[in-house]
Amino acid sequence: MNHQIIKFTPTEEQLCWTFGGREPVMEVEPGTILEVFTEDCFAGKVRSETDLVSEVCEFPSLNPQTGPFYIRGAEPGDTVVAHFIEIEPARDWAVSTTVPLFGALTSTHLTATLQDPLPEIVWIWELDRKTRQCRFRSNVGEFSVELPMDPMHGTVGVAPANLEVRSALVPDAHGGNMDTPELRAGVTCYLGVNVEGALFSLGDGHARQGEGESCGVAVECAMNTVLYLDLIKGTSTPWPKLESDKYLMTTGSARPLEDAFRIAQVEMVDWVASLCGIGRMDSYQLVSQLVESPLANVCDTNYTSVAKVNRQYLGDISALYGGAHQHARRVAADYLSGR
């Protein structure tokens, strides 16, 4: 295989704050390998315990995306294939923080109460990229612990439908800020195309993240990421899907959280029915007993729920999306061995 490799690091001016509404940074052919740099969600401005988001950041300059990439030939009704070959922290530190009136365990601008906000506190996490560990230190009490790095992208998506432009902080049917730890290296993400060229972007690297992202902020870090970008013509994907060597995954992003759950589960029921050639009610039954349902985020404008099914129980599903994941895995292996 011979795939074009394009390296791209955005300048500060090129940082992109939305899905849609922005000129592409470049055009790429389907079947391209991208080596990109993504800034952290604070655009690198929070670097110590004294850099408060409320002081050093300003709306809408949050969650900068690298992109958008215009994919030649992509049209509404097609599906973008984004396989993550490698997601590597670009620095030896990462940052997390509380943000006033943001997060799952506080009132917010949408879940409005009359209470005082929680205090704004920054934690700097040390990343040991050799041992693949991130170190947490408490402010109150002497406690320190290393958690395994599990790098992921919180945000990946395309331009939305219906002429909309959405903030990079929002997850929805176009992808965006889904914040699922399942979006790690080795995973293929399928995104439905809404506009010509798809306008694919990504960002919001996390060295690791708990499911639900309770405090609203993960272990945020800049990333050097390699991904393989491809296109499937004539197949639509209403909500983003993920595929790994072990799992098929669907996502739903909505509020309340049960609606996000419902979307992901209905998507999975329909997917399994089609893959296994069984009735929709049969699939409802099978998925009900088989599915894993980890939460992604319960803090963003929409909440995101994931449905995961272990592919080994579904029979021969190699034709899924034309074998796009297996193909991408081979491209990835070639790339990694050729380095």
Residues 259-298 that bind a second copy (CB under 8 A): 259, 261-263, 265-266, 269, 276-282, 284-295, 298
Nearer to a second copy, 52 or 314 (CB): 314
Nearer to a second copy, 98 or 188 (CB): 98
Least separation, in Å, of the C-beta of 185 and a second copy? Answer: 19
Helix orientation angle between 280-290 and 257-276, rounded to the nearest 10 degrees: 120
Residue for token pair 């055009």: 27
Q: Is 96 in the site for a second copy (CB under 8 A)?
A: yes
Least separation, in Å, of the C-beta of 332 and a second copy? Answer: 27
| 27 φψ region: left (φ > 0), alpha (ψ -120 to 50), beta (else) | beta
Q: What are the residues whose beta carbons fall under 8 Å from the beta carbon of 323, sequence distance 6 or more?
A: none
Q: What are the residues whose beta carbons fall under 8 Å from the beta carbon of 172, sequence distance 6 or more?
A: 160, 166, 253, 302
Least separation, in Å, of the C-beta of 5 and a second copy? Answer: 31
Least separation, in Å, of the C-beta of 126 and a second copy? Answer: 13
CA distances in angstroms from 243 to 174, 246, 251, listed in the order given: 17, 8, 11
Nearer to a second copy, 64 or 85 (CB): 64
Q: What is the DSSP secondary structure assignment for residue 180, as one 8-state letter?
A: -
Separation CA 126–CA 40 (nearest Å): 15
Least separation, in Å, of the C-beta of 321 and a second copy? Answer: 20
Separation CA 6–CA 176 (nearest Å): 23
CA atoms within 13 A on the CB side of 279: 3
Residue choice 50, 119, 338, 339 for contact with a second copy (CB under 8 A): 119
Q: Count residues near a second copy (CB under 8 A).
A: 93
Nearer to a second copy, 85 or 248 (CB): 248
Q: What are the residues whose beta carbons fall under 8 Å from the beta carbon of 128, sequence distance 6 or more?
A: 92, 134, 135, 146
Q: Is 164 in the site for a second copy (CB under 8 A)?
A: yes
Give residues 222-261 in contact with a second copy (rule: CB under 8 A). Answer: 252, 254-259, 261
Least separation, in Å, of the C-beta of 181 and a second copy? Answer: 9
Q: Which residues of 148-183 are buried (b: 16+ CB within 10 A; e: fewer)?
A: ebbbbbbbbbbbbbeeeebbbbbbbbbbbbbbbbbb
Between the two ends of the chain, the Cα-to-Cα distance in Å is 14
Give residues 44-73 in contact with a second copy (rule: CB under 8 A). Answer: 59-60
Give residues 300-339 in contact with a second copy (rule: CB under 8 A). Answer: 303, 305, 313-315
Of 48-56, 79-87, 137-145, 318-326: span binding a second copy (CB under 8 A): 137-145
Of 18-26, 31-39, 46-54, 240-248: span binding a second copy (CB under 8 A): 18-26
Least separation, in Å, of the C-beta of 169 and a second copy? Answer: 8
Nearer to a second copy, 115 or 337 (CB): 115
Residue 104: helix, strand or coil by DSSP? coil
Q: Is 5 in the site for a second copy (CB under 8 A)?
A: no
Nearer to a second copy, 1 or 316 (CB): 316
Least separation, in Å, of the C-beta of 160 and a second copy? Answer: 9
Separation CA 8–CA 10 (nearest Å): 6
Q: Is 77 in the site for a second copy (CB under 8 A)?
A: no
- 202 with 67: CB under 8 angstroms? yes
Least separation, in Å, of the C-beta of 228 and a second copy? Answer: 28
